Amino acid sequence: MLADKYDKVRRQISHACRDCGRAPESVQLLAVSKTRNANEIRQLYACGQAAFGENYLQEALDKIDALQDLPLEWHFIGPIQSNKTRAIAERFDWVHSVDRLKIARRLSEQRPADRLPLNVCLQVNISSEASKSGCSVEELPELARAVDALPGLRLRGLMAIPAAATDPQQQRHTFAQVRTQLETLQSELPQLDTLSMGMSGDLEAAIAEGATLVRVGTALFGPRTYATPGADTPATPNA
């Protein structure tokens, strides 16, 4: 049952926090609900979960419309195409996958004036994988300064999807690199407060290295079954 899986993940986060001397409330759980239906989201909301992450825009918009009666926080975590920015700017509370200035400018310009600035994280390709989205470490400082200056956005921090690894020490090593990048940016942009990193298989290592938000899908909902990939199917997993 979803309630049992939710409780298990919450305990996993709490134990990971205590193991490294952090308060459990210092880490937010983002439920990655891509390919899941509105009823499943309602069930998880009833358990206490209010923040949900989506990769596929049209699927997400359908669920946002179906769940307007609930006070949910919607996060877009997939790669962003230029022709998708308006809907993302209008309908989401957070975007984790900003990796180039063109996309950031469009999101800023298209954010409705009656909404708070859109919370954004810069996606950094920390493992330099050709198959994954994200700016390079070298591009990151200039991109961060430029995005921070855009009026419709609120730059919050970094997101990363490291190369898959099963060894906890290797996981921690890569997550530590992301944390170091954030700490470097904070010397110039002290308001940055978010490290979106860690998924179902490596959240303990991410929390040990400072994650403030973990993106969990499989451990909450079980294995996914995908339909035929569409135009906004992401190139990489996010949970």
CB 118 within 8 A of CB 95: yes
Tokens encoding 181 = 């990048």
Q: How confident is the model at residue 130 (pLDDT cuts 50, 70, 90)?
A: confident
Report the pLDDT value the prediction gives residue 128, as an integer from 0 to 100: 83
Report the pLDDT value the prediction gives residue 147, as an integer from 0 to 100: 98
d(CA 22, CA 30): 18
Q: Which segment of 2-16, 103-117, 125-139 scores lowest on mean pLDDT?
A: 125-139
In this structure, whether the domain defined by 2-221 belongs to CATH 3.20.20.10 is answered with: yes
If one counts every other C-beta atom within 10 angstroms of the C-beta of residue 45, the result is 17
Contacts of residue 60, Cβ cutoff 8 Å, sequence gap at least 6: 34, 54, 74, 76, 91, 92
Q: How confident is the model at residue 238 (pLDDT cuts 50, 70, 90)?
A: low
46-76 pLDDT, tens digit each: 999 999 999 999 999 999 999 999 999 999 9
| pTM listed for this prediction | 0.93
d(CA 207, CA 20): 8
Tokens encoding 108 = 């800023």
76-117 pLDDT, tens digit each: 999 999 999 999 999 999 999 999 999 999 999 999 999 999
Closest CA to 50 of 27, 25, 26, 75: 75
